[in-house]
Amino acid sequence: MQNNFGFVRVAAAVPKCHVADVDANVAEIKSQITEAIEEGVEVLCFPELTVTGYTCADLFFTQQLQQNALQGVQQICEFTRGKSIIVLVGAPLKVDNNLFNCAFVLTDGEVVGVVPKINLPNTGEFYEKRWFTSGRAVREINGHPRIPTVELWGGDVPFGIDLLFMTRAYCFGIEVCEDLWSPLPPSTQLAIQGAELIFNLSSSNCVTGKHAFRRDMITQQSARVHCGYIYTSSGVGESTTDVVFSGSTYIAENGELLEMGDRFMRDSSMVISEIDIERLRTDRQRNTNFTKDQHGHYRKINVAPIESELGETEPTHRRFSMTPFLPCKGTEDAYCSDVLSIQISGLARRWEHTHAQTLVIGISGGLDSTLALLVAAQTADVLGYERQRILGVTMPGFGTSDRTYNNAIKLMEELGVSIHEIPIRDVTTQHLQDIDHDINRHDVTYENAQARIRTLILMDLANKYNGLVVGTGDLSELALGWATYCGDHMSMYGLNAGVPKTLVRYMVRYIAENLFAEETRETLLDIVDTPVSPELLPLDEQGDIAQKTEDQVGPYELHDFFIYYFLRYGFSRDKIAYMASVAFEDQYTQEQISHWLGIFMHRFYCQQFKRSCLPDGPKVCCVSLSPRGDWRMPSDICEME
């Protein structure tokens, strides 16, 4: 497979097992190798002791099984000749009167390395120490400290627990089953030494509760060492004398479970996904412990698989969420609780520290000010303050619609905050006359004058009532520079500065549906359904909102997708466009995505001066644009292509 933007296609296979029948197992393995090649898989991982089956017990002592196993590996190795794939299979290997439980790395008719299992289980069902020697003993073989190799079919092959496999595009390491369960998994040091993919050949039996525990352990290990983790375990064909095997397969990346196969399958099965090597390298680049904690000698083995002839336009197995800032299914309550708790905690601390008597918030009837008001009300409750200490200020202007005005008033009434209504039409008209600007000329001066007058009113009210002006602008607006400098751009605490627009909308809907009774719920849901608009231009002939933000700067769902992958991982424009085309394939054409991505990039680079002087505000998601924290960029910077 040709790597698309750093993606490497991997697979975890579970062949139908025939205990001690090497020929039958080899046939199953060859069949799955063929299937994987047709799917463009670059690295295919089979379970522990795949060639013989894991449950051979004392048959492992027999010369016949040992010889058959080695012949089986040779057949599989020869089968890979001329094929564009790397194959990892498990088999026993006898070296100097020691029997090792090994993973063989095969490609293009060659064995490029053999990795023995280190940690052997000592449970009653599988006392592997009865049959096998730990890989730690490899360096002591023959009594001298040479770099260990093993002779296979007339050639010396690297052999040991210190092997890293280097391809043109990535580095991978191997651990075997119990190794992951040890106090210090080999994968930790392998990753620190440079392995970006970890393959685990396993034969973990099935008992109640183990599946979920193992899944979480694999996912957490992939997060801990910023790696792709590919795990496969023996299936139901193994002997059921004392235990049952389910054929568990998992592919995880950096704390995210990408694929999980069905268990207890009667026939051979396989799961496939792509690991994003560039994503892993971005996180490792930021985590300097990957350099600081390197120690010991690891041998780097070059692996040169044959390039796939499949083109770059082939369909991908990897999917991307359209809403990377929103919670995954099943985590909604905990996620939303965290968002609210972070915002409430930040605002409460600032309110207490400043000894402000009031909070002053401009309420427009739109999403951002609604979320800010909801958080402020709950903050007052947490601190034991009367909600009337919150000054909600609605300031109708030339573009204010009845819908947003009424929703603003209703929401303030239902929340029990103090209501101030200060129309800005007359003062804005006078101001435009003072600066000799034609009021019928609806340009940026016309729009920004209203935004700055509103901010002036809020600041002066804060002075009058010993208050703190709470900013309502969100992370998406900051990224796009969609704010009036020294207008809604400025406040005394930017409560929503860490919340992207898609999450603002989600939070308001969540709060409406879970925390409020019918009347307030209806108000909030109508706000959610209202088009996003600064309402700075006059209404249309029907009295509806004429100025819709997403018509001008683009869909916020796209912009938040761009923000996530640009800020979190620093991906290139081409890669972000590719990922967006996969995520939004049924909603936007590639031309539309390219257009709005171009708008995003241009606005992001040229609007940094607004972010360089942002007020304080809490980081809520995995990224922020604080000039003191996550994002520091010169204002005078050229846009990168």
Residues annotated as catalytic are 48, 117, 177
Q: What is the 3-state secondary structure (H, E, C) of 81-113?
A: CCCCCEEEEEEEEEECCEEEEEEEEEECCEEEE
Judge whether 579 and 320 are in contact, CB under 8 Å.
Answer: yes
Sign, CA dihedral 279-281-287-293, equals positive
Query: 109: alpha, beta or left, given left = phi > 0 and alpha = psi -120 to 50?
Result: left
Residue 103 tokens, joined:
């993973």
Q: How far apart are CA 331 and CA 329, in angstroms?
A: 6
The two three-digit tokens of residue 33, written as one number: 């190798």
Q: Identify how many contiguous H helices and E strands the chain contains and give both numbers.
A: 20, 20
Closest of 281, 274, 303 to residue 110, by C-alpha: 303
- The answer to whether 283 and 623 are in contact (CB under 8 A) is no
Cα–Cα dist 163/150, whole Å:
13
The span from the CA of 90 to the CA of 248, in Å, is 16
Burial of 528 (0-12, 13-18, 19+ CB in 10 A): middle
Contacts of residue 167, Cβ cutoff 8 Å, sequence gap at least 6:
86, 302, 303, 304, 305
Q: In what order do the strands lie in the sheet with 7-14?
A: 110-116, 98-107, 86-95, 43-45, 7-14, 269-276
User: Residue 411 has which token pair?
Assistant: 């929401």
Instruction: For residue 69, give both structure tokens.
Output: 């196993």
| Complete DSSP assignment for 50-89 | TTT-GGGGGGGG-HHHHHHHHHHHHHHHHHTTT-S-EEEE
Instruction: Spell 79-108 as b/e; 16+ CB within 10 A means b.
Output: bbeebbbbbbbbbbbbbeebbbbbbbbbbb
Query: CA-CA distance, 85 to 37, in Å (whole number)?
Result: 7
Who's near 67: CB < 8 A, 6+ residues apart? Answer: none
393 φ/ψ angles, rounded to the nearest 5 degrees: -120, 115
Angle at which helix 556-569 crosses helix 573-583, to 10 degrees, equals 130
Nearest Cα neighbor of 390 from 423, 364, 412 is 412
Distance of CA 422 to the CA centre of its chain: 44
